[in-house]
A and B are shown apart, each in its own frame.
Chain A
């Protein structure tokens, strides 16, 4: 009779599975990724490696010496236990952060425009007292541009009412506003000395938001070639809230990571962060196998660094407010060993 090995589910709870059950989960995760995203399966040795990883009794696992990667942690300057500047100094000094990120507490693009000088002052001052590169981060969060939070008609209400042309017009209006705000934000942060801009959770409001972020990235990179743009996604494929928006002739709705990578590179971004959402009813082994399979096609074609999003609810990390370290370490090692990611 097989031993039952402690392992994690996608919601963070502990489960005890046999090695055979873990293997079945890994193989099913791969199969589901192939079916859904139309990508090739993982190789047999890669599947074996995932099984070994998740069947290991070790609490923490790590990458091999020499395989260290860069960690692009967001939100390190969001005010947790001290001032935002002190928080980033703590991240750098105590946690060895590879890069730092100043961001507003709301973390949304639209709210930043009214406090830009204050944010730029914080960034300017923090840059003088830290060593690691520092970016300014926001979520495009296009939904805030719709009523009641913003000036545009609310496409989330228009769509179920069947008012499709009006919904699309509202999406397009909001997207143009977001582009203007993003470029203005980049103008100010460039003056303050930011090393990069981070657009996090891009596409949370679907293809209009993805379009706006790509367009903003293109403008920013053309204006400021010495300032980077990191573009991280919100979901594994782009929701078609508009359905017909294109970027340089490519329809954005329905894009999976490989197609996302292509347009992100065309826009001129310097880093790309794919997302694979976690299924909380499945094991972490299943989720990580699925994530590896979906993202693997990106790795051979990437011309810019690929930083897999591996955090709460994405990238094989449990959807739990304090993700267990054993789960986080396993998915991280899987992405390094199998995908050869440039960072997380």
Chain B
């Protein structure tokens, strides 16, 4: 939701509705830790890690942001840069 506010200028109710609809949950669910842990697992959005709770097979950090960008259908600049710098896409001649 922070991403929708920062980069798209969405007010909170709109941001909640947008994200919830993309994830298949209700806006109320977005604040529920139990629900969102499962949702983040399912979509590969990254999660809190600790020594006792490690999930090395799940997407994290930049990997998670690739998934966030795809599922929420929102461009994430560092994901685009990653693609350009690894040859996955062509870098624009100018920005």
Q: State the A residues within 8 Å of B (CB).
A: 65-66, 68-70, 72, 93, 96, 98-99, 124, 127-135, 187, 190-196, 224, 226-228, 230, 269-271, 302-305, 307, 340-343
Dominant secondary structure of chain A at its interface with chain B: loop
Whose C-beta in chain B lies nearest to the C-beta of A272?
Answer: B9
Which residues of B (65-79) have their CB < 8 Å from a CB of A?
65, 68, 75-79
Whose C-beta in chain B lies nearest to the C-beta of A225?
Answer: B7
Contact A133 B3 (CB under 8 A): yes
Q: Which of A72, A130, A269 has the most CB of B within 10 A?
A: A130
Q: How large is the interface on B (under 10, 10 to 19, 20 to 34, 35 or more residues)?
A: 35 or more
List 14 extra interface pairs beyond A127-B62, A193-B78, A342-B5, CB under 8 A.
A70-B5, A98-B2, A128-B61, A129-B62, A133-B3, A133-B6, A191-B81, A192-B78, A193-B79, A193-B82, A195-B7, A196-B6, A304-B9, A305-B11
Contacts of A227 in B (CB 8 A): 7, 77
Q: List 20 A-B contacts (CB under 8 A).
A: A66-B28, A70-B12, A72-B2, A72-B6, A93-B49, A98-B2, A99-B2, A127-B78, A128-B61, A129-B61, A131-B45, A131-B61, A131-B64, A131-B65, A190-B95, A191-B81, A226-B77, A269-B9, A303-B11, A343-B5
The verdict on B39 contacting chain A, using a C-beta distance below 8 Å, is no
Contact B2 A226 (CB under 8 A): no
Contacts of A305 in B (CB 8 A): 5, 9-12, 15
Whose C-beta in chain B lies nearest to the C-beta of A97?
Answer: B2
Q: State the B residues within 8 Å of A (CB).
A: 1-3, 5-12, 15, 27-28, 30-31, 45-46, 48-49, 60-62, 64-65, 68, 75-82, 95
How many pairs, one residue from A and one from B, have CB atoms within 8 Å of each other in the complex?
114
Contacts of A130 in B (CB 8 A): 61
Known A-B contacts A193-B81, A195-B77, A226-B77; the reply to A68 vs B9 at CB < 8 A is no
Contacts of B77 in A (CB 8 A): 190, 193-195, 226-227
